[in-house]
Amino acid sequence: MRLAKFLANSGVASRRAAEQIIRSGRVTVAGAVVTDPAREVDAGSAVRLDGRPVGEGAQELVVYAVHKPAGVVSTASDPQGRPTVVSLVESGQRLYPVGRLDADTTGLILLTNDGDLAHRLTHPSFEVDKTYRAVVGGGPVREPALRALRHGVALEDGMTAPARVVRIRPDTLEITIHEGRKRQIKRMCQHVGHRVIRLERVRFGPLLLGDLPPGGHRRLSANEVSLLRNAGSASRTGGTPRGASPA
């Protein structure tokens, strides 16, 4: 198994973050510093992070759904001392967020120590759907703006993929995307003349925010975790999510 995947499976960090940790020289294998995330290792390879032993399966893998309030940052720690999503969940495991929401964006975010699952849910190749509810300014959203969002708009970092867009009120849209560009929903809406006033993520793959209160969290069931692992293929076929969280 590659070293980055070994660290991710051990609950150290997501696979992408594990690669950065390895390249920084913090990991040793059999006493020697290794900076290649692709180095093959196994349970007997004496892998250590910052001098502490790391073993695959050393801790139970868990996933939590969290309703992130405004002002809370989507990181495990914050140098400015702001509250973090990780601080909202009391757990004996070392948790980290699956992807990010802007500090002023609210709604569903996942915390886990399962690096493989985090990688699957965030890597663009798996195209996992996320749905956002956006309240916008600029007057009622008209059909030309809706068509543009559904077709894809040209942002400074390239054309967006077609989005699923439903106008649920004159100033409120539900937008489903599978990309994860920085501030993407806000930039898309701004591009068609509607600044986002409030933004909330209401769905991640098959999982719904439902009635989880702001700041609240709950541990996902084994069935829900299994649905998340298959979220990419389910999203691409356009199937209705089964077994989602209570609405």
Pairing of strands 196-204, 106-112: parallel
DSSP string, 108-136: EEEEES-HHHHHHHHSGGG---EEEEEEE
Question: Could you list the active site residues?
Answer: 102
| Residues whose CB falls within 8 Å of the CB of residue 93, separated by 6 or more in sequence, listed in order | 11, 59, 60, 62, 113
What count of residues does the chain have?
247
Strands annotated E in the chain? 27-29, 32-33, 47-49, 52-53, 63-68, 96-98, 106-112, 130-136, 154-155, 158-159, 164-169, 172-177, 196-204, 207-208, 217-219
